[in-house]
Amino acid sequence: DAGITQSPRHKVTETGTPVTLRCHQTENHRYMYWYRQDPGHGLRLIHYSYGVKDTDKGEVSDGYSVSRSKTEDFLLTLESATSSQTSVYFCAISEAGESYNEQFFGPGTRLTVL
Amino acid sequence: GQNIDQPTEMTATEGAIVQINCTYQTSGFNGLFWYQQHAGEAPTFLSYNVLDGLEEKGRFSSFLSRSKGYSYLLLKELQMKDSASYLCAVVDSNYQLIWGAGTKLIIKP
């Protein structure tokens, strides 16, 4: 299995509080992604990174920010959490961003915003 | 807009064969993935198709027709452990993955 960990694995927080989720990889893959998964929806891309300090927005980026200061770490921040951000968040990595870009997923973080 | 369609849920019997369909309308096409996701776990890679035709990998096969915007995943000799959701995802012209909502497969003894 690809070496990807996410922390925390579960979190309950209150509306309006900031939350940071961490993704850590030991594979030295260039690309890292943050998705959210909700019932009835496919995985939706929030942000992705194609290198240290190189990030871009995905389909559902509003209310989220990211940072990547090291190859191995990709942080997702909810500046002021809302109930609509209750979801399961998956981090993924891939070696190449084009062509055959199989992604390997972390175990997920279940976030509940009350 | 971009769209991936899969049946929401399917039921099959242990030992049987099941075909899970995926149709897509996307801006460009650079390949199609199938992933398996057990409840409460991360998606894991099953197959990748970029050319038309059938790719076989053990009990699992995946088929692609680019002209029809259609793919299917074929699972043979079903086992109880195959109970999972199966996610179809298309690589669009910007090399982004567009995901379907997934098909929940229930295997009955």
List, for residues B4-57, the tens digit of each pLDDT value. 999 999 999 999 999 999 999 998 999 999 999 999 999 999 999 999 999 999
Q: Which residues does residue A110 pair with via DSSP β-bridges, in sequence order?
A: A10, A88
A33 contacts A45 by C-beta, under 8 angstroms: yes
To test the contact with chain B by mutation, choose from A41, A48, A101 the residue with the greatest count of B C-beta atoms within 10 A, namely A101
How many angstroms away from the CA of B69 is the closest CA of chain A?
18
Taking contacts as CB-CB distances below 8 angstroms, the residues of chain B near A45 are 96-97
C-alpha to C-alpha distance for B6 and B67, rounded to whole angstroms:
18
Q: What pLDDT score was predicted for residue A71?
A: 94
How many angstroms away from the CA of B80 is the closest CA of chain A?
22
Q: What pLDDT score was predicted for residue B1?
A: 72
CB–CB of A101 and B100 under 8 A? Answer: no
Taking contacts as CB-CB distances below 8 angstroms, the residues of chain A near B64 are none
List, for residues A67-108, the tens digit of each pLDDT value. 999 999 999 999 999 999 999 999 999 986 555 678 999 999
Which residue in chain A is spatially nearest to B36 when comparing CA positions? A105
Taking contacts as CB-CB distances below 8 angstroms, the residues of chain B near A102 are 33, 45, 48
In order of A70, B7, B57, B64, B74, the CA distances from B14 in angstroms are 47, 20, 19, 26, 14
Segment holding B28, helix H or strand E: none
Q: Which residues does residue A16 pair with via DSSP β-bridges, in sequence order?
A: none
How many angstroms away from the CA of A14 is the closest CA of chain B?
23
List, for residues A10-54, the tens digit of each pLDDT value. 999 999 999 999 999 999 999 999 999 998 888 999 999 999 999
What's the number of CA atoms in the CB half-sphere (13 Å) around residue A24? 6
Section B70-77 average pLDDT: 98
CB–CB of A108 and B97 under 8 A? Answer: no
For A38-106, strand residue ranges (E) read 44-51, 54-57, 64-70, 73-78, 87-94, 104-105
How many angstroms away from the CA of B89 is the closest CA of chain A?
9
